Amino acid sequence: MEIDNLGITNQIQPPISSGPLRFFKNLWKSLKDAMDLLSASATAMIGLVIVITWVVIAIFAPIFTTYSPTQQDYLQINKGPSSEHILGTDYLGRDVWARIAYGARTILSLGPISVAVAFLLGVLLGLPAGYYQGWVDEFVMRILDSIMAFPTILLYMIIISAVGASSFNVVIAIAIGGAPGIARLVRALTMDIRTREYVAAAKLRGDSDFIIMLREILPNCRGPLIVDLLLRIGYAAFYIGTLGFLGLGLPPPTPDWGGMVQEGHSRMMVNIWPVLSATLAIVSLVVGLNMFADGLREETMRYQ
């Protein structure tokens, strides 16, 4: 406060930039705390490096290779690694490294998108089931149990065989298959959190059930859900590769790691490089995601 010559008090206004500055300071602090947490786990850091490497390759694929993933050269069929093609070529003369690099875009986009859709469905089903319990819980859980009765890969095969192979249908299939497990996790966490004192306080304030679930319960589920999300992205990458191998992934000539294994497995005696390269790519990405999630889970549990 300040007093002018007329004795009138004026409120000193904070600088306009204080709001944005405070936001970026808080964001930087959150990122720094997250990195300090991750740096304490060698497992998490190794997994993070592997994942970031594949993300960089996917984003900057045109820089890492001068070839198109669909470019065919019938004079270079089934060639081994060389200075011109570092991982050789496939049965159509396509550069294997180009298909690996551009295929990373496919698996790193479809995997997180399908898991995000599954998480949305799982939260929408699991929150009310765990909060209201009773007949709501019974109704939701019986539907989810009927979906979980199918083996995961069989459920994906049924869905995609019925609607056809495409990027959208792969996302929908993985989302439907993953939503029941997420819903059960959210339900279990909600049933525990709903008994806490701050939830009772919110009810006394007159907050609606929707607001309580959104503001009080869901944010307090974020730790286990983040770890589960990371693990499920790894599983999604594995299942996308499996569907591609079974011929139910993305239609050709889209670069698809699972499709590369499917196309090349019958020609392994002639040229092993397409199958070996795609297999190692899938394994490294899934292992990296699992290591990152496992390391993060270990560190978060240590401070609980």
Task: Identify whether 202 is part of a domain.
Answer: yes
Q: Residue 182's pLDDT is what? A: 92
Position of tokens 């198109």?
A: 68
Task: Identify whether 1 is part of a domain.
Answer: no
CA distance 172 to 76: 38
Task: Identify whether 62 is part of a domain.
Answer: yes
Paired tokens of 28: 């930087």
CA distances to 48, 128, 203, 277, 280 from 137, rounded to whole Å, are 37, 7, 20, 46, 43
pLDDT band at 3 (very low <50, low <70, confident <90, very high): very low
Q: Residue 99's pLDDT is what? A: 94
Task: Identify whether 4 is part of a domain.
Answer: no
For the domain that residue 145 is a member of, what is the CATH number? Answer: 1.10.3720.10
Residue 16 has pLDDT above 50, yes or no: no
Task: Identify whether 12 is part of a domain.
Answer: no
Task: Identify whether 27 is part of a domain.
Answer: no
Q: Residue 300's pLDDT is what? A: 67
Task: Identify whether 15 is part of a domain.
Answer: no
Whether 244 contacts 257, CB under 8 Å: yes
Encode pLDDT of 70-98 as tens digits.
889 888 898 889 888 999 999 899 999 99
Task: Identify whether 31 is part of a domain.
Answer: no
Sign for the pseudo-dihedral over CA of 174, 175, 176, 180:
positive
Q: How many CB atoms lie within 10 A of CB 146?
A: 10
Whether 169 contacts 163, CB under 8 Å: yes
Encode pLDDT of 176-223 as tens digits.
999 999 999 999 999 988 888 888 888 888 888 888 888 888 888 887
Percent of the chain whose predicted confidence (pLDDT) is above 70: 86
Number of domains in the chain: 1
29-44 per-residue burial string, b: 16 or more CB within 10 A, e: under 16: eeeeeeeebbeebebb
Query: What residues make up the domain containing 183?
Result: 40-76+85-302
Encode pLDDT of 95-134 as tens digits.
999 999 999 998 999 989 999 999 999 999 999 999 998 8
CA distance 261 to 270: 14
